[in-house]
Chain A
Amino acid sequence: MKQRFVSRPHRNKTLAYSMIGPTWLTMLVVHFIPISIGILISFRNLTKNNISNIFNTTFIGFANYYKSLFSMKSDFLSSLSVTLRFVIFTVIVSYLLGLACAIIGNSKFKGQTLFRGLMLIPLIIPSIVSLTCLRFMFQQNGIINFLLQQLQIIKDPIVWLVGKNTFYVILVGNIWIRWPLYFSVLLSGMQAISNELYEAASIDGAGFFQKLFYITLPALKENTFITTILIAIWSFNDFNVPYIMLGGGYTSVPDPANLVAINIYRKAFFSLDFSYAAAQSVLMSLLSFTLILIYLKLRKKEG
C-alpha cells in the first residue's frame, strides 16, 4: 500500500489556513469589498440621481478630496477639529479617572469588591441607556442644573444641549462610557505588579508619588498604550454619543459637537452626496492609520 507522507508543520499549516478561511471570506465580503467600493465611489460623482448605476457614474478624480480639504467652508476640516479635541480630552480625562479609581480599587479596604463592581457599571449598562439618561440630566430643568443651583455654583440654569456647551455634553457622555475600560485594564495590571517592589521602595524611603511614577506607571505602560489606542480610535470614529445625546434624524447636531462620523452620515444619508461622504470616510481612515503608525513608531523608538 502506498503511503503518503506529509510533514507535521505542513499539516498544521493546512489546518490553520482551513480554520481561518471562513473568517477571511466573511471579512472579504463584509469589509474589504465594501471598502473598495467606497474608495471607488469617492473618485466618482455618485448622488441620488444616479444611485442605481454606481459603476457608470462620472469619474471626477480628486475633486471630492479637494473640496473636503481646501474649500473655504470645509465642513470636514471643522468637524475634524472638533473630533481631535474630543479624542484628546476623552483620553486624558478617562485615563486620569481610570488610574485614580484603579489605585483606590487596588488598595485593601472594606467594601473593595463593591467599589470595584460599582466602577464597572458604565461598562455594563448599554450606552444608549446611559447616554439617553445623561441627555435628560443635562436639560435646563434637569438634575445637573438642579444640583449646581442647590450647591450655589450657578444662579440661573445653564443651557447644555444647545450652543457651545454641547461639546462638553458629548465629552461627558463619551468619558462616562469609556473610562471604565481604563479602570479595569489598569487595575488588572496593578495586581500583576509584585508587592516586593513597593516594599523595597518603602524601605528606601519612597513616598506615594515616587512609587506611582517609578514603579506603577512604568509597569502599566503596555496596558496604557493598548487601551489608549483603543479608546482614541473608538472616540475618533464615534457616532453614537452626539447622535443619542443631541438628537438623531433630522435634528441638526450643532457645530461644536459635529464629529466627523456625524458629518459623513449627514452628507451621505441626508444630502445624498455619497461620493463626497465616501471621500471624507477615506480621509478619516487615512488619518486614523497615520496616527496609529506614528504612535507605534514612537513606541518602537522608546523600546
Chain B
Amino acid sequence: MKVRQIITILFIGGLMFSSLVACGKPEEIDTQDETGAITEEVSDSASQTQEEVTIGIWELGTETDASRRYIEEAISGFYEETGINVTYEFISWDDAYNRIVAAIASNEGADILQMGTTWVATMISTDAFVDLTDDIGTIFPDEDAFTPGAWATSGFGGKVYAIPWFSDVRAMVYRSDLWAEAGYPNGPQTWEELQTGAQKIHELHPEIESVIGLGGQGFSHYVGSFFWQNCGDFISPDGGTATFNVPENVQATQFWVDRIVDDGTVSLTNSEWTYDDVIARFWEGDVATMFASPAFVNNATEEQLAVLEGKIDVTAQPAGYNDCQYNFVGGSDLMLFKFSTHQEEAKQFMAYLTRPEIQVLKAQYENDSPAVKAAYDLVDMTEGYWPGFAVAAQHGFHFPIHPAWGGNVESLVPELVTDIWTAIVSGDYANSTVQNILDAINADAQQKLNDAGGAPTNYDSPWPVPNI
C-alpha cells in the first residue's frame, strides 16, 4: 500500500516536473518552434553583462540558405564594428500576423521586426512600435536617400515608424525576342503598345499559353499597378473615402479584363495561377510578359537560364491612358517594438542594414531590390537585370499606408480579383460586370474605413523635414 502511494507520487511528480521543464526558459539552446523557424542561440537576459548586449530580429519569409547566409554575414559585420550581438529568427509569412499580434499582446518577442510594407500603417495603430521620426537624418538616412516607393511606406501623418529595408519592385519582365518580333524591341511603353504588341505575339506564337501573365490566385498586386497607371488610387488623399470604383479605376480594370475576354492574350488558365505559377510558366516559355520582382530569377533552373539567355529584359511597367506611369513597390521595412530594452542598439542595427553596401549584399544573396538609391550606383548593381529594376523603382507606388488598409481593406483586393475571374470562368461575365464588382467592393471598403474611424488625423501631412 505504501509502496503504491510512493510510486503514484513519483509518477505524478515526474509528469509535473517534465512539463515544467518543457516550459522553462533555456539559457542557450537551438530550438525549432511550431512554425518551423530555427531560433539561434536564445540567450537568457540575466546572463548579459553590461558590455555585452544582444538584440533580436524577426525576419519574415521562408528561411533559405541564401537568406541565412546574408543575415549571418550582416550580423557578423555589425558585431565586428559595434560588439553588439544579434540573434535572428525566421517566421513564415502565413504565420507572421499571428506571431506579431501575439508579441504585441504579450510584450515579448524580438527587438526588431521585419514588417511587410502593406501592414505598416495597421501596425502603427496598435501603438506597439517606436516613433522614429526624430531619428531621420541622424541615426537613419534622410528621406532622399530612399527610393520614392520605399519611403512612402515608412509611415503617415508626418510620422515615421518604419525604416525601408528592401523593396519588392514589380517591374515588367518580358521576352525581348518576342516583343522585338512584334515591333517593340524595348517592350511596350504604353497600354496601347501593350495591347497591340501582345495581340501580335498571340498571332505569331499561338503555342504560348498566355502572352501576359496575371495570376488569379493569391495577392494580385497588378490591380494596384493598373489603377495607378491610369492615375487612380484605392483611397482618397485625405484617407476617408474609398475610391475603388472611380472612373479611372473602372477603366483600368476593364483594360486588363479585356485582355482576357476580348484578346485572349491573358489565358483563362491564369485564373488558377499564383504569382509563383506565372513566374514558373515564364521560365517554361508559356508566358511572354509578367510583372515580377528581381527574385524571379530564383525560380529558374540552370537549363532555363541558359535557354533564355539574352532573351529577357526588364523595364518599368507601361503608362496608362492618362499618362501616369507607376508600378507596384512592396517589400519590407524594419520596425522597433516599444518593449525592446535595447532600443538604441536596435536602431544602430537597423541603420546598418540600410547602408548601400549591406543593401547590395541582400540583393546579391536574395535578389531583393534595395530600398536605398545609392545601392544602385554600386558596381554589382549595374549589371544583369538590376538597371531595369532601378528604373522601375523610380516609378514606384504603393498601397495606401493607412491604418485600415493592412489585413482589412487590403483583403478586398484578392476578393475583387476572385470575383472578376469567377464571373469570367462561370460564364456570367457581361459589360457591366467590372463596374458592378467595383461598386460592391467599394461599398465594402467604405464600410471598413468608416468602422476604422474614417480619415486618420494628418493622413495627408507632408513628410517630416530631416533633423540635421
Contacts and interface: CB of A to CB of B under 8 A. Distances in A.
A249 interface: yes
A48 B269 CA distance: 37
A11 B16 contact: no
B421 to A, nearest CB: 5
A59 to B, nearest CB: 18
A49 B411 contact: no
B422 A162 contact: yes
Interface string B158-176: 0000000000000000000
B411 A163 contact: no
Contacts of B272: 139-140, 159, 161-162
Contacts of B8: 15, 18-19
A49 B101 CA distance: 10
A75 to B, nearest CB: 11
B422 A51 contact: no
B301 to A, nearest CB: 19
B365 interface: no
B128 A270 contact: no
A249 B271 contact: no
Given A161-B272, A248-B94, A252-B418, A22 B408 contact: no
A214 to B, nearest CB: 47
Interface in B215-232: 216-219
Nearest to B7: A15
B94 to A, nearest CB: 5
A52 B104 contact: yes
B271 A48 contact: no
Contacts of B125: 48-49
Given A49-B126, A54-B105, A22 B94 contact: no
Nearest to B415: A252
A177 B425 CA distance: 28
Interface residues of B, number: 41
Interface in B93-107: 93-94, 97-98, 101, 104-105, 107
B414 A22 contact: no
A163 B417 CA distance: 12
B101 A51 contact: yes
B15 interface: yes
B132 to A, nearest CB: 20
A26 B274 CA distance: 41
Given A159-B425, A269-B97, A271-B407, A254 B105 contact: no
B448 to A, nearest CB: 8
B98 to A, nearest CB: 6
Contacts of A139: 269, 272
Interface string A244-267: 000111111010000000000010
Given A269-B97, A272-B122, A159 B268 contact: yes
Nearest to B273: A139
Given A52-B105, A251-B218, A270-B407, A140 B274 contact: no
Contacts of A252: 411, 414-415, 417-418
A140 B269 contact: yes
B19 interface: yes
A249 B94 contact: yes
Contacts of A248: 94
> Which of A159, A164, A252 is most buried by chain B, counting CB atoms within 10 A of its CB?
A252
A271 B411 contact: yes
Contacts of B274: 247, 251
A105 B246 CA distance: 63
Nearest to A160: B272
Given A15-B4, A162-B271, A272 B407 contact: yes
A271 B271 contact: no
A113 interface: no
Contacts of B421: 162-163
Contact of A159 (B16, B127, B128, B271): B271
Interface string A54-78: 1000000000000000000000000
Contact of A140 (B16, B126, B268, B415): B268
B46 interface: no
A141 interface: yes
B341 interface: no
Interface in A32-62: 48-49, 51-52, 54
Contacts of A117: none
Given A11-B1, A162-B272, A272-B408, A250 B425 contact: no
B64 interface: no
Given A159-B271, A162-B216, A164-B426, A269 B107 contact: no
A22 B425 contact: no
B126 A249 contact: no
Contacts of B15: 22
Contacts of A218: none
> Which of B94, B127, B421, B422 is most buried by chain A, counting CB atoms within 10 A of its CB?
B422
B12 A18 contact: yes
Contacts of A269: 97-98, 101, 407
B19 A48 contact: no
A6 B128 CA distance: 59
Contacts of B219: 249-251
Contacts of B1: 6, 11
Contacts of B107: 52
A230 B15 CA distance: 30
A22 B9 CA distance: 12
A248 B95 CA distance: 11
A6 B5 CA distance: 12
A249 B218 contact: yes
Nearest to A248: B94
> Which of A140, A163, A248, A254 is most buried by chain B, counting CB atoms within 10 A of its CB?
A163
Name the 4 nearest CB pairs between A and B, nearest first.
A159-B425, A163-B422, A252-B414, A250-B219
Interface of A: 6, 11, 15, 18-19, 21-22, 26, 48-49, 51-52, 54, 139-141, 159, 161-164, 247-252, 254, 266, 269-272
25 contacts: A11-B4, A18-B12, A19-B11, A49-B126, A51-B105, A51-B126, A52-B105, A54-B105, A141-B269, A161-B271, A161-B272, A162-B216, A162-B418, A162-B426, A163-B426, A251-B217, A251-B414, A251-B418, A252-B411, A252-B415, A252-B417, A269-B97, A270-B97, A271-B407, A272-B408
Given A159-B268, A163-B421, A252-B417, 17 more contacts: A15-B4, A15-B8, A18-B12, A21-B12, A22-B19, A139-B269, A140-B272, A159-B426, A163-B426, A248-B94, A249-B219, A252-B414, A252-B415, A252-B418, A271-B408, A271-B411, A272-B407
